[in-house]
Copies of this chain bind each other. A is one copy, B any other.
Amino acid sequence: MSITHATGYAIFDPKPGQYDFKLTKYELEPAEPDMVTVAIECCGVCGSDHHTISGGWGPLSCPYVVTGHEVIGKVVEIGSKVTEFKVGQRVGVGAQVGSCGHCKGCLKGNENYCVQPVHGYNTFWHNGAVHQGGYSTHLRAQERFVFPIPDALSSTDAASMLCGGLTTYAPLIHAKVSPGSKVGVIGLGGLGHYAVLFAVALGAEVTVFSRGDAKKSDALKMGAKHYVPTDPGFEKGLEREFDVLICTSSSSHLPINELLSTLDVFRQLVFVGMPENGLEITSQALSNNGVAVASSHLGNKGEAIQMLKLAAEKGVKPWVELMPMKDAAKAMIAIEKGTVRYRTVLLQDIESD
């Protein structure tokens, strides 16, 4: 019997500091031939969920939103054109569930840069149907955005890799990080922790830049070799040091010129995550060493599969806190207070009817 509905924790009125999740039953989007339907086992909590339901990214596009885009679950239905998956298989779905399939990005294997992407929630399919996210019993995604999960990875470890992990892994690959590369990670939150773990797994020598010393011990435990508090003058002695800087900080007071001076010629500082404000960049700060400021959005399917394989092989172990899905509001408050160490995963607790 075809699955038509899901039940999830929905927010109707985004505002900061108060998260009134209402258990809500809703109709899933129509199942297309290229879609996979997943019964959700657990779902990671991403900063994007907080930006969306606190109103930081503006009003909702839909009447209500079920957030969550780091989903692990079991395939319960496949469309007639699906070839990669079968019912019963454990899979993951990240922060994108669909793309147009025919733009330059999609055709060149960069479907994460599709001109008409369908994101993980607060979004519409090309036919107008609403798509809701993973704090729920079920979701659907196009096959291209569903990933097989290696047996060696637990579901709760794999979940937050699908957005947080991939978001930091893809720019490392794009910068050709390999054994001996020097990688700087700016900020040590959920994304920063993944940037460290994956850069280390790729064989890089990792330096963490953060305000103060509070996270030094954690950074070194994650495998970073150096920890640099961004006090005045921190950049001295680090000129032209790094092959790439992954910036996971959302601060608009970032010492951007000093950070840029630590990049080797022609390299990039890559923003991941989405600060709510911009940064003033001068041509001078970029031209001394011919560097660039970039931003990276998720990763493509090849990168996702490669990342999961590397995590399984190298035993990459994210630092995750588990809680039942009904405690999603607590997870939001923890993000606001900056107390998450370093990623939260919500466990399924809704009874399917």
A interface, CB within 8 angstroms of B: 103-105, 108, 110, 112-113, 115, 174, 239-240, 264-266, 268, 271, 273-275, 277-297
Contact = CB atoms under 8 A, between A and B. Distances in A.
Given A278-B280, A281-B278, A290 B239 contact: no
Contacts of A295: 283-287, 290-292
Contact of A292 (B264, B268, B289): B268
Contacts of A271: 283, 286-287
A290 B286 CA distance: 18
Nearest to A240: B104
A113 B290 contact: yes
Contact of A286 (B103, B115, B293): B293
Nearest to A108: B265
Contacts of A104: 240, 264-265
Contact of A290 (B279, B280, B296): B296
B105 A240 contact: yes
Contacts of A264: 104
A264 B106 CA distance: 12
Given A240-B105, A280-B278, A296 B289 contact: no
Copies assembled: 2
A251 B352 CA distance: 58
A266 B108 CA distance: 12
A281 B283 contact: no
A289 B117 CA distance: 11
A240 B280 contact: no
A293 B290 contact: no
24 contacts: A103-B240, A104-B240, A104-B264, A108-B265, A110-B290, A113-B289, A271-B286, A273-B283, A274-B283, A274-B287, A277-B282, A278-B282, A279-B280, A280-B281, A283-B295, A287-B295, A287-B296, A288-B297, A290-B294, A290-B295, A292-B293, A292-B294, A292-B295, A293-B294
Nearest to A112: B290
A256 to B, nearest CB: 10
B280 A280 contact: yes
A171 to B, nearest CB: 9
A278 B286 CA distance: 11
A17 B171 CA distance: 47
A291 B294 contact: yes
A239 to B, nearest CB: 6
A279 B277 contact: no
A205 B181 CA distance: 37
Name the 3 nearest CB pairs between A and B, nearest first.
A286-B295, A292-B294, A287-B295
A111 to B, nearest CB: 10
A297 B291 CA distance: 10
Contacts of A112: 290
A275 B283 CA distance: 7
Nearest to A57: B284
Given A112-B290, A273-B283, 11 more contacts: A104-B240, A104-B265, A271-B283, A279-B280, A285-B295, A287-B296, A288-B297, A292-B292, A292-B294, A292-B295, A293-B294
A58 to B, nearest CB: 12
A279 B283 CA distance: 8
Contact of A105 (B277, B278, B289): B289
B274 A113 contact: no
